Amino acid sequence: MSRPFLTGYCLLIYAFLLAPILVVVGASFNAGAFLTFPPQGLSFRWYITFFNNEVFMRAIRTSLWVAFVTMIISGVIGTMAALFHVLHARRSKDVVRIAMLAPLLLPEVLTAISLLFFVYAIGIGTQNMVGMIIGHVLITLPFVFINVSASLESFDPSWDMAARSLGAPKLVRFRRIMLPMIKSGVIGGCLFAFIISFDIFTISFMLKGVGTSTLPIQLFDYLRTNFTPEAAAVSTVSIVLTLTVVIISEKVLGLRIHRF
Amino acid sequence: MTEVSIEKLTKSYGNARAVNAISMKIAEGEFISLLGPSGCGKTTTLKMIAGFEDVTEGAIRFDGQDVVNTPAEKRDIGMVFQNYALFPHMTVEQNLAFGLEMRKVPKPQMRERIAKVLDMVQLKGYEARYPRQLSGGQQQRVALGRALVIEPKILLLDEPLANLDAKLREEMRVFIRDLQRRVGITTVYVTHDQAEAMTMSDRVVVMFGGRIAQIGSPTDIYERPENHEVAEFVGQVNLVQAKVESVGEGTATVTSPLGDFTLPTKISVKPGNMVSLALRPEAIELSKATEGQPAATVLASYYSGALMDYRLKLDNGDELHAQTFPVNRFAEGDRVALHAPAERFWLVGVSK
């Protein structure tokens, strides 16, 4: 293939990926009363409306909180599962992998309905956010597992042996040798967990605690009756939040440091 | 300094025995090499000494104390790996400090010991570098330093030079050998490279199929190999047909195309037996052919700078490989006389 053709092809793919986002961001600065693109005049009025909308603000706080808790739980369980899978599982290796990836294979709606039955069967119900968080963990777990497994595959067992020969007990070896080497995988997996959890709709829709709402659900509710650019403003804020999380983690925690 | 003794050490995987009841004693400060082809059990033996492999049967004693049930992290060993296994997220200094931190050595003393070792491995000024910023040889020296800085009872090296290029490998051989002499640490070195084992070791342990074929000084191994397998593994061997004329007390007198010899023999032979005489290529000297001398025809000659290799054909049709200094050169088709001292021959087995 010729070079100009390839360049054009790449540009098309980028356009395909980014155009919807640009349209949403553009529409959010709309001065008019309806969600249209191109925007009719520029203004921040819908942002102001959004930030003054207590319902949306509560939803965004709930979403951030749920995403954070989900990230921590998924991060810990997913990392432990990956450690077992790569380092210790022998005959059970394939079974463990398939079991860990199963949530990816099931339609989310099915997972959500089954989980709904489950939380009522064991008496948790949907009075609080426990059921929803279980659902979020379930959906995000495979992403942590895959990321950490991948980074563990490149962990050289002789590093561990070297540390043993130098007199390091098991926990010290984990903390000082293994964890730093798989750090980028763990952080990457946790980021995925956070971002995906922030975005989950179906599970949250079925399992959200009574009287609570996450941002995607609140947005859906809103769009059923309203069609103002406020929805675009909400989406834009959500995009910015996600991007911020990614950029901050990359800068502060240093995903690039450990490339060698 | 520590003396290591290994008694009937065995490692089984199911029914397969990777290491089969081997015993050896390693003296204080001795440099010993485990030499053998891949799969001979040398690395498994090293890992058992280090504590990375469980022992199926037998004992490993450091200064008389059985360490079989001591975990690796408490055996007080220094180990150098084939791929160096430096911690990539730590600087040279942090790599060296790791073992000292585990031993809770106080900071000022730690700095002193690291500086001393860095000096020993000639890496002063490299403290702040990361392993990826070092060449292969430098990484190898950091690995050596990291193993030595903890002043372990024994030093274990698992094919440490296998990943280096030929020239560096030769330099590192001398470097490691000198360092080991200076520190005086008991050392076990695993390699499949006979030249490495010969140049570095006080004694070489040749292993085949999980068993020890021979333990001896490099000279013993090379010039007085226990059997033909050892002889073949540690160097090139010529085999010449010979006939037993008479048998004495542990000796046999044979006639061969290279002359008549009386040789010590470990195998039992009878007069009239056909046997093979083994001879190293460099034991043969060549001169211009004269009457009455065993002679051969030059088939081909190869010049490699320091040495000259010849492919020769005896009058009975057998081929020989001879290696000489390139002083008198012979060309293809030349007739040459062969001289080989009796003490460089050994008998290897009866052929029908």
Chain A residue numbers touching B147 (CB-CB < 8 A): 165
Residue pair B49/B77 in contact (Cβ under 8 Å)? The answer is yes
Residue pair A70/A133 in contact (Cβ under 8 Å)? The answer is yes
> Measured between CB atoms, which of B73, B88, B98 is closest to A260?
B88
Could you confirm whether domain B237-351 is CATH 2.40.50.140?
yes
| B186-191 and B203-208 strand pairing | unpaired
- What per-residue confidence (pLDDT) applies to A137? 96
- The packing angle between helices B136-148 and B166-183, to 10°, is 20
Q: What's the gap in Å between the CA of B73 and the closest CA on chain A?
A: 4
Chain B residue numbers touching A158 (CB-CB < 8 A): 81-83, 85
Place of tokens 């040749």: B206
Closest by CA to B93, choosing from B52, B126, B64, B132, is B126
- What per-residue confidence (pLDDT) applies to B340? 86
Contacts of B201 (CB under 8 A, 6+ apart): B31, B32, B33, B189, B218
Assigned CATH class of B4-233: alpha beta
Question: Is B104 part of the contact surface with chain A (CB cutoff 8 Å)?
Answer: no
Token pair recorded at residue B40: 């001979």
Q: What's the gap in Å between the CA of B79 and the closest CA on chain A?
A: 6
- What per-residue confidence (pLDDT) applies to B40? 92
Q: Enumerate the CATH 2.40.50.140 domain ranges in chain B, comma separated.
A: 237-351
C-alpha angle B142/B143/B146, rounded to 5°? Answer: 85
Query: pLDDT digit string (tens) for A216-238?
Result: 999 998 888 888 888 888 899 98
CATH number of the domain to which A67 belongs = 1.10.3720.10
Q: Residue B152: closest CA among chain A residues belongs to which residue?
A: A166
Q: Is residue A256 scored above 70 in pLDDT?
A: no
Question: Is B105 part of the contact surface with chain A (CB cutoff 8 Å)?
Answer: no
Mean pLDDT of A182-204: 90
Q: What is the pLDDT along chain B (352 residues), one digit of tens a residue?
A: 799 999 999 999 988 899 999 999 999 999 999 999 998 999 999 999 999 999 999 999 999 999 999 999 999 999 999 999 999 999 999 999 999 999 999 999 999 999 999 999 999 999 999 999 999 999 999 999 999 999 999 999 999 998 888 888 888 999 999 999 999 999 999 999 999 999 999 999 999 999 999 999 999 899 888 888 888 898 888 888 888 888 888 888 888 888 888 888 877 788 888 888 888 999 888 888 887 788 889 999 999 888 999 999 988 888 899 999 988 888 888 889 888 888 888 887 765 4
Per mean pLDDT, which range of A25-34, A128-137, B113-122 is the poorest? A25-34
Q: Is pLDDT larger for residue A251 or for residue B192?
A: B192
> Measured between CB atoms, which of A158, A169, A258 is closest to B83?
A158
- Give strand ranges (E) for chain B: 4-13, 16-26, 31-35, 57-62, 65-66, 77-80, 154-158, 186-191, 203-208, 211-216, 238-247, 251-256, 259-264, 274-279, 285-288, 295-303, 308-314, 319-324, 335-339, 345-351
> What Cα–Cα distance (Å) separates residue A111 from each residue in A105, A192, A220?
10, 19, 20
Residue B25 backbone phi and psi in degrees, to 5:
-120, 130
Whether omega for the bond prior to residue A38 falls within 30 degrees of 0, making it cis, is yes
Q: Is residue A260 domain-resident?
A: no
**For the residues of A19-69, what is the DSSP string, one character each?**
HHHHHHHHHHTB-SSS--SS-SSB-SHHHHHHHT-HHHHHHHHHHHHHHHH
Q: What is the ipTM of this complex?
A: 0.82
> Measured between CB atoms, which of B71, B85, B89 is closest to A162?
B85
Q: Is pLDDT larger for residue A259 or for residue B179?
A: B179
Cβ B73–A159 below 8 Å, yes or no? no
> Measured between CB atoms, which of A161, A166, A180 is closest to B102?
A166
Q: How many domains does chain A have?
A: 1
Closest by CA to A200, choosing from A182, A185, A213, is A213
Cβ B51–A167 below 8 Å, yes or no? no
**Chain-wide mean pLDDT for chain A?**
88
SS3 A83: helix
Q: Which of A164, A165, A182, A253 to mutate to test the interface with B (most CBs of B within 10 A)?
A: A165
Place of tokens 């585990």: B102
- What per-residue confidence (pLDDT) applies to A259? 41
- What per-residue confidence (pLDDT) applies to A6? 93
Q: What's the gap in Å between the CA of B48 and the closest CA on chain A?
A: 12
Cβ B73–A169 below 8 Å, yes or no? yes
pLDDT bucket at A1, cuts 50 / 70 / 90? low
Token pair recorded at residue B298: 């030059």
Q: What's the gap in Å between the CA of A81 and the closest CA on chain B?
A: 24
Q: Enumerate the CATH 3.40.50.300 domain ranges in chain B, comma separated.
A: 4-233
Question: Is A258 part of the contact surface with chain B (CB cutoff 8 Å)?
Answer: yes
C-alpha angle B330/B333/B336, rounded to 5°? Answer: 55
Domain of residue A36: give its range: 3-254
Cβ B88–A165 below 8 Å, yes or no? no
Between CA B352 and CA B349 the distance in angstroms is 10
> Measured between CB atoms, which of A156, A162, A176 is closest to B79?
A162
Chain A residue numbers touching B79 (CB-CB < 8 A): 161-162, 165
Cβ A163–B98 below 8 Å, yes or no? yes
> Measured between CB atoms, which of A159, A167, A260 is closest to B85?
A159
Mean pLDDT of A69-93: 93
Mean pLDDT of A166-191: 91
Cβ B88–A177 below 8 Å, yes or no? no
pTM of the model: 0.80
Contact residues, A window 177-196, toward B, CB-based 8 Å cutoff: 177, 180-181
- What per-residue confidence (pLDDT) applies to B266? 76
Q: Is residue A9 domain-resident?
A: yes
Cβ A177–B87 below 8 Å, yes or no? yes
Q: What's the gap in Å between the CA of B158 and the closest CA on chain A?
A: 11
Q: Is residue A259 domain-resident?
A: no
**For the residues of A110-128, what is the DSSP string, one character each?**
HHHHHHHHHHHHTT-TTSS
Per mean pLDDT, which range of A46-50, A61-65, B109-113, B348-352 is the poorest? B348-352
Q: What's the gap in Å between the CA of B76 and the closest CA on chain A?
A: 7
Residue B132: is it exposed, middle or buried by C-beta count within 10 angstroms (0-12/13-18/19+)?
Answer: exposed
Between CA B4 and CA A68 the distance in angstroms is 55
Between CA B184 and CA B202 the distance in angstroms is 12
Chain A residue numbers touching B86 (CB-CB < 8 A): 162
Between CA A59 and CA A201 the distance in angstroms is 13
Question: Is B50 part of the contact surface with chain A (CB cutoff 8 Å)?
Answer: yes
Q: Is residue A30 scored above 90 in pLDDT?
A: no
Q: Which of B13, B87, B90 to mutate to test the interface with A (most CBs of A within 10 A)?
A: B87
CB atoms within 10 A of CB B325: 10
Contact residues, A window 126-185, toward B, CB-based 8 Å cutoff: 156, 158-159, 161-169, 172, 176-177, 180-181
Q: Is residue A257 scored above 50 in pLDDT?
A: no
Q: Residue B51: closest CA among chain A residues belongs to which residue?
A: A165
> Measured between CB atoms, which of A166, A168, A258 is closest to B89?
A258
Helices (H), A84-107: 93-105
Residue pair A165/B79 in contact (Cβ under 8 Å)? The answer is yes
Cβ B73–A165 below 8 Å, yes or no? yes
pLDDT bucket at A255, cuts 50 / 70 / 90? low
